[in-house]
Amino acid sequence: MSACVEEMTRLSVSDCGDQAEANADEDVVNPWNVVSASATGIDYDKLIVKFGSSKVTQELVDRIENLTGKKAHHFLRRGVFFSHRELNEILNAHEQKKPFYLYTGRGPSSDALHIGHLIPFIFTKRCPEFYKNIVRIRRGVTFNQVKGIFGFGDSDSIGKISFPAVQAAPALSSSFPFIFGENSRVPCLIPCGIDQDPYFRMTRDVAPKLGYPKPALLHSVFFPALQGAQSKMSASDPNSSIFLTDTPAQIKNKINKYAFSGGGATIEEHKEKGGNCDVDISYQYLRFFLDDDKKLEQIRKDYTSGELLTGHLKKELIGILQKLIADHQTARKAVTD
């Protein structure tokens, strides 16, 4: 089913890339296009206001730690997952020992997975009814509603207009009777990039009308392209991405050749003025993949002061990514049909 949905996604939105262009001083974030107006990347506080979601607060992180009895994942501690919709409802269900399920929307069999696609995998690791629900959702949402949510126009293809119902259906537990049986009210938690939020705003509107609970959402920041934080990593651009099928040599070459540096133009300038971690892609990637908070903070201090050079920072990242991807490739080989 994942391959089918992925193909429908590709066919229905592939012509949408030119739908929005960034203004000189404004970020563009929608299901088809993510472009930042700033070298430091998207302004996520503005996005929370624009999308009407809620910030993941320290109080919420503390509650997760209390409920799980474990230190929160570093994606939560560092604000990688920064926004949510009714995550408290999922925590309430967990506290009451009621079931819920995760909808990651990622087909792990794809050959075009890059390291940004690992984010939902890492965070979420610890069918006839499906298509019936697609039809139910299509009946429950008007064209006027999707025009308002997605900005569709009269010249948009029917595939683009009908696809939101396909993406919405897995958020209803009745789509999976082979998992949940006759229990159609199991709540769903969807960790995703905030650019996908419009699909699930629509889902949250229609779910109660169909007799289902609203899905909860947990939004992640975007995983930046190698060339800089102004755009997200894309599987369609091999030079902006590190793929989960890349060899150690390819990983090393891509980081050394393409990863945007926040360091000085010369060693002397770097030692004098230090590096800028806010725009340095190697440091930004370490925020995702280096577990050790103390080591990450020391790297930040050393790079900002100029003591740590760009080449050494990239070397640190290369070693981490080579091991991470090699481990993923080994685990994937062990999976059979």
3-state secondary structure the chain: CHHHHHHHHHHHHCCCCCCCCCCCCCCEEECCEEECCCCCCCCHHHHHHHHCCEECCHHHHHHHHHHHCCCCCHHHHCCCEEEEECHHHHHHHHHCCCCCEECCCCCCCCCCCEHHHHHHHHHHCCCHHHHHHHHHHHHHCCHHHHHHHHCCCCCCCHHHHHHHHHHHHHHCHHHCHHHHCCCCCCCEEEEEEHHHHHHHHHHHHHCHHHCCCCCEEEEECCCEECCEEEEECCCCCCCCCCECCCCHHHHHHHHHHHCCCCCCCCHHHHHHHCCCCCCCHHHHHHHHHCCCHHHHHHHHHHHHHCCCCHHHHHHHHHHHHHHHHHHHHHHHHCCCC
In a domain, 100, yes or no: yes
In a domain, 240, yes or no: no
What is the reported pTM? 0.78
- Number of structural domains the chain divides into: 2
259 shares a domain with 207? no
- Where in the sequence is the domain holding 71, given as residue range(s)? 2-225
The CATH number linked to 75 is 3.40.50.620
6 shares a domain with 88? yes
Going residue by residue through the chain (337 aa), what tens digit of pLDDT does each one get? 444 334 434 433 334 444 444 455 788 888 888 888 888 889 999 999 999 999 999 999 999 999 999 999 999 999 999 999 999 999 999 999 999 999 976 554 555 566 666 665 565 444 567 789 999 999 999 999 999 899 898 898 988 899 999 899 999 999 888 888 878 899 999 999 999 999 999 999 999 999 999 999 999 998 888 988 777 776 667 777 898 899 999 999 999 999 999 999 999 999 999 999 999 999 999 999 999 999 999 999 999 999 999 999 999 999 999 999 999 999 988 887 6
255 shares a domain with 220? no
User: Both ends of the chain: CA-CA distance in Å?
Assistant: 14
182 shares a domain with 258? no
The CATH number linked to 288 is 1.10.240.10
In a domain, 251, yes or no: yes
In a domain, 233, yes or no: no
289 shares a domain with 176? no
221 shares a domain with 90? yes
